[in-house]
Chain A
Amino acid sequence: MLHSLLQWWVSVYANSALTRTVVVFCHVGGLLLGGGAAIVADRATLRAFPRGEDERARHLRALAGTHKLVVGALAVIIASGLLQFFSDTATFLHTWIFWTKMGLLLALLVNGGLLTRFETQAAARAPHAQREWRRLRAVSILSLCLWLAITLAGAGLISM
């Protein structure tokens, strides 16, 4: 049953340019929207870090609004990524770039969890949250690097 479904999807994906276009658009569009929003938010965190308490509080409020967009985009990225994976399972499973990308994605999800945790702590401990802000700065830098690294790994997969 599962094999039949998989073979059906392999055939549909291989034979329908429209299906491939929609799936790839969801993947790249999600990356553009989610990654773009995350990078803007990360840069804003780095800008708010050396500033006063008012600016930091304003940034934390804005940051909370960004998460839903990033999480939603990540869900679309993962779903469309799985559809691409199932279209050619054998190839992806034997490619180290694929596993690197999955590792980076996992790191991004863990980093996102840490980011929201530090953000909550920073808001709760204001105006004495210097340590939390240092952590926020660190995970924001890591987030920037991870989004770019995932894009690089994706480009590598396309070039296979």
Chain B
Amino acid sequence: MTSRRDFLQTGGCFALALAAALGLSAGLEGLPIRLTEGSGDGELRTYPIPPADGVHVDWKAQVMLARYQGTVYAFSLACPHQQAVVQWLPNDHRFQCTKHHSRYTPTGVYMSGRATRNLDRYALQRNGAQLVVNLDHWFRSDQEPAAWAAAAVKL
């Protein structure tokens, strides 16, 4: 009976694959997606201004800070369609929902898919070398188009 050997081989492969995955996770900083964590209490979160174009994700606050062509935006991590996680695709330079694959430009504008509006933007303002994001105030492009368009910081 060789089933135990088969089992150990499978288990070993699993352990190796998991180790490789964990090793990769440690190298995530090398990607254009960077993990960040804002400081501050309550609904006001403070972040350093991103030094270059790219996306910074704060998982705790569920916020994505995107710097694109000299402007910074703070997006909700949730897709407007069914609140699934939105992913930044570095090679394609766009956002995409991980569930139904709705697509958005780097500025959060809806491109295609099941969603019916742009990514929701949080209110944010510049404070010296910091950006302050107000998690209590976010704008839907279909309900407050002017406020949504203004929710950006030009650098």
Interface residues of chain A, those whose CB is within 8 Å of chain B, are 2-3, 6-8, 10-11, 14-15, 17, 64, 67-68, 71, 74-75, 78, 82, 85-86, 88-91, 93-94, 102, 105-106, 109-110, 112-113, 116-117, 120, 158, 160
Q: Could you tell me if B3 and A116 are in contact, using CB atoms closer than 8 angstroms?
A: yes
How near does chain A come to B60, taking the closest CB pair, in angstroms?
Answer: 9
Q: Could you tell me if A160 and B31 are in contact, using CB atoms closer than 8 angstroms?
A: no
How near does chain A come to B119, taking the closest CB pair, in angstroms?
Answer: 16
**Complex: how many Å from CA A49 to CA B25?**
46
Q: Indicate whether B149 reaches chain A with its CB closer than 8 angstroms.
A: no
> Chain B: which residue is nearest A123 at the CB level?
B1
Q: Indicate whether B140 reaches chain A with its CB closer than 8 angstroms.
A: no
Q: A14-B89, A91-B87 are contacts. A112–B28 as well, Cβ < 8 Å?
A: no
**Considering only CB atoms and an 8 Å cut-off, how many residues of chain B contact the other chain?**
34
Interface residues of chain B, those whose CB is within 8 Å of chain A, are 1, 3-4, 6-8, 10-11, 13-14, 17-18, 21, 24-25, 27-28, 30-31, 33, 35, 57, 59, 84-85, 87, 89-92, 96, 98-99, 101
Q: Could you tell me if B28 and A89 are in contact, using CB atoms closer than 8 angstroms?
A: yes
**Complex: how many Å from CA A117 to CA B4?**
8
Q: Could you tell me if B14 and A109 are in contact, using CB atoms closer than 8 angstroms?
A: yes
Q: A102 — which chain B residues lie within 8 A by C-beta?
A: 18
Q: Could you tell me if A71 and B7 are in contact, using CB atoms closer than 8 angstroms?
A: yes
User: Which of B3, B18, B27, B87 meets A64, CB within 8 Å?
Assistant: B3
**Complex: how many Å from CA A105 to CA B18?**
12
User: Which of A10, A82, A89, A112 meets B17, CB within 8 Å?
Assistant: A82
User: Which of A11, A105, A117, A120 meets B14, CB within 8 Å?
Assistant: A105
Listed by A's residue number, 25 A-B pairs whose Cβ atoms lie within 8 Å are A2-B27, A8-B91, A10-B89, A10-B90, A11-B89, A14-B87, A14-B101, A15-B92, A64-B1, A67-B1, A68-B6, A71-B3, A71-B7, A74-B10, A75-B13, A78-B10, A78-B13, A78-B17, A82-B17, A88-B87, A89-B28, A113-B8, A116-B4, A158-B99, A160-B85
